[in-house]
Amino acid sequence: MTSNATHRHRLARATATAALGALLAALSGCSLSPFHGHADVSDAPLVPRATDVPDDAAGTRARMAAEPGEAFWPYRLGALLAAADSSRAAEAALRRALALDPGHAASLALLSRLLFEQSRHAEAIREVETARARAFPNGMPAALLEGLALHYDAADRIDEANATLGAIPSGGRAGAARVYLTLRGSTPGAADALAAEAAKREPKSAVHQNNLGIARLRAGDPDGAAKAFDRAIDLDAALPGPYYNMAILEKFYRFDDAAAARWFARYRERAAADPDGLAGLIGGDPPIAERKAP
């Protein structure tokens, strides 16, 4: 039988996997206004007035027709289609935006996310590296480099993932992806300070709280981890990762199978992926618990 320590080592790597979708969502959440050019995605975006940006696909297509040379509008259409789970149409719109402006960072970030969700890592690496060489002569934004590193990591090209992270200027703020990749490394304890700094810097970020919980769990502090996961859920109840991580915590650190099953059932309401095979370990999906679990 596998030892509990081995379980913890294996599961600690996979806990971060459950949060990948949210991390890439954060990368593509830096939507750029069509009115201020090609700002670095690390800059605070100029938020367009509600009357400037339609909230539906039809209105956005009308703006595309009126301003055919502006990359923002196909990007906006791609974002709307992605939110509606129309991945193929969203990808086509994003590629149209990048054809107009190969350096449109928000389009590249969202395309990177869509390709990640489809496990098209080699294609994403090729796309982002091409843009990095051609469109970002002064250096690619940190958020896009972190996303590229995630693809290298998922493709099991660890040396290239680490080299990509190393290309991010030192002294910058640690993004969620950088914390995640540090957690994935052979010295995950190094992620604790990064995770704590990110959570302190952005206290309303559910992703940062989830990463902090993973760091605390790997450090052998299940109570501190549970507090961080619960905070993440309070901030964003739709984020799947904290529920999955709480199921792991209850199953392998507190040895409470019933609580683990309840957390896993709540996770399954939000996502289908099961990187640790918890469904088989827990044994079925019990009734959903109320808002605050056990």
pLDDT tens digits in sequence order for the chain, 294 residues long: 344 444 444 444 444 444 444 444 444 444 333 332 222 233 333 334 445 777 889 999 999 999 999 999 999 999 999 888 899 999 999 999 999 999 998 899 899 988 988 889 999 999 999 999 999 988 888 888 888 988 898 888 988 988 898 888 765 555 666 777 777 666 656 677 778 888 888 899 888 898 888 888 888 889 999 999 999 999 999 888 899 899 989 988 899 999 999 999 999 898 877 777 888 888 654 434 433 444
Can you give the pLDDT at residue 54?
76
pLDDT on residue 20: 47
Domain ranges in the chain? 1-18+174-294, 26-172
Maximum Cα interatomic distance, the chain, rounded to a whole number of Å: 65
CATH number of 26-172: 1.25.40.10
What pLDDT was estimated at residue 189?
64
Residue keyed to tokens 């009357």: 51
- Name the one residue in this structure whose structure tokens are 């890592």: 121
DSSP the chain: ---HHHHHHHHHHHHHHTTHHHHHHHHHT-PPPTTS-S--TTSPPPPPPTTTS-SSHHHHHHHHHHSTT-THHHHHHHHHHHHTT-HHHHHHHHHHHHHH-TT-HHHHHHHHHHHHHTT-HHHHHHHHHHHHHHH-TT---HHHHHHHHHHHHHTT-HHHHHHHHHTSPTTSPPPHHHHHHHHHSS-GGGHHHHHHHHHHHSTT-HHHHHHHHHHHHHTT-HHHHHHHHHHHHHH-TT-SHHHHHHHHHHHHTS--HHHHHHHHHHHHTT----TT-HHHHHTS--PPP-SS--
Fold of 1-18+174-294: 1.25.40
Residue type, 14: A
Q: What's the confidence (pLDDT) of residue 186?
A: 60
> Is the fold of 1-18+174-294 the same as that of 26-172?
yes
Q: Which pLDDT score, from 0 to 100, does residue 202 have? A: 85
The pLDDT of residue 174 is 54
pLDDT of residue 113: 86
pLDDT score, position 81: 94
